[in-house]
Structures are given as C-alpha cells and as structure tokens.
Amino acid sequence: MFYLSLIEHTLRLPPHILHLPVDEAIKSELETLFLDKVIAKLGLCISVYDIRSIKGGFIFPGDGASTYTVEFRLIVFRPFIGEIIVAKLKESDASGLRLSLGFFDDIYIPAHLLPTPSRFEAIPHTRNQGRWIWDFGDAEEAQSEEPRFVIDGSDPIKFRVDSVIYPSIPLEQPENSKPFAPMVITGTINYDGLGPVSWWEEAEMIQEDE
C-alpha cells in the first residue's frame, strides 16, 4: 500500500521562517507543499519520511527568500494491482459502490466488477441510492425476505485493486459535477474471500464448498 519515494526539489524558504533551524524550516515547508497531495504516477503523499541532503541556501537577486535543493523521501500511498485492501462503504448507487479509507475516498467498484450475479435494490424516494445484493445459491433463497448477502455498509469490505489511474486535470468542468479526483482506484470484489467481511465468516461456519 505504501512506498517510499526519493524526491529532489528546489525549495524556496520564505523569510518569515528563517529564524527556525534549517532542517525544521525545510521540513515544515515540504509538508505544506506535499502532504495530502497527489503526485501523478507516484500516488498520494502521506508523510515526509526523512531528509537526505540539503544543498544551496543561495539568495537570488531581487528575492528575499533563500533557495535550497533538498533531497528527501516521502511515504506515498500507491496500491499495486492485485493488492487486497479493507475499506468502508461510502456510497452505493446504480452504477456501483464507492468505498473510503478515511484518508482516501475515491475508490470505485463499478457494477460489472461485483460478484455475478448481483442485483441492485433502490431505496424508494431517494435519487439513485440503494443497496446491492449478491444472488448466490438457490433462486428461492435469494428472493426470500432477508437475503443473506447484502452490501449495506455495516462491516468493512475487502476488495482487490484492479487499476489505479491519474486522470489529467480538466480544463473546464460543468457546474454540478463531482469535484475533480486526481487519483482514482478501481476495485473488484468478484472473487472468493472478497466483499463484506461478514459474508465469509458465515461461509466458514456453514462449510460451503465451491
């Protein structure tokens, strides 16, 4: 889930923090710049791990700030394809599920990557919201009042990462669209052991074999 990345950056230290020791000032500047931001192909920056070297300290003419070339390591969140992650359900609508990790919310499970066959049961009077139900086993059992395999957000969901894309920043956006997501993870739960954790706790007890 997490990787270390070595970055070199030319950092300008504004004069108002020059009274602090250099490494502290540089660390806080780096944090303001990188923390909680997505770097394309690298991932979401979580933390500054350490500072390897600080060079420079030149002051360019006409500028009150000093400029340093810093080499440092960042902890980035970048799941690899095939990784299995536990997340909580955030939204569920006709096009699929949206999961959240607390620090990262743009995880989507599109409808075609849900276990087959699944069906969507919309909640009446809401626009688009509803819950997904997995029709496993006999048709009769699935049509009964309380189907066994519902995705309703009561427990965490295990999913496998299918792809991680970094869409480019759009030039213009229509008014009511979703805020731009610089990193989108697509997941699948169409496999044994994936999906809400409670589905598989039952499976152990009943000892269903595939």
In the complex, which residues of this chain contact another protein (CB under 8 A)? Answer: 1-10, 31, 35-36, 39, 41-42, 46-47, 49, 71, 73, 75, 77, 80, 82-84, 86, 101-103, 155, 158, 160, 191-194, 198, 200, 203-204
Tell me the pairing of strands 130-134 and 66-77: unpaired
Count Cα atoms within 13 angstroms, Cβ side, for 194: 19
Nearer of residues 101 and 133 to another protein, judged by Cβ = 101
What is the smallest separation between the CB atom of 180 and another protein, expressed in angstroms?
Answer: 18
139 is written with which tokens?
């048709």
What is the smallest separation between the CB atom of 127 and another protein, expressed in angstroms?
Answer: 29
Nearer of residues 135 and 198 to another protein, judged by Cβ = 198
What is the smallest separation between the CB atom of 141 and another protein, expressed in angstroms?
Answer: 20
What is the smallest separation between the CB atom of 119 and another protein, expressed in angstroms?
Answer: 23
Nearer of residues 83 and 130 to another protein, judged by Cβ = 83
Nearer of residues 146 and 192 to another protein, judged by Cβ = 192
Count Cα atoms within 13 angstroms, Cβ side, for 42: 18
What is the smallest separation between the CB atom of 104 and another protein, expressed in angstroms?
Answer: 9
N-to-C CA span, the chain: 30
Nearer of residues 66 and 190 to another protein, judged by Cβ = 190
Nearer of residues 86 and 165 to another protein, judged by Cβ = 86
What is the smallest separation between the CB atom of 116 and another protein, expressed in angstroms?
Answer: 16
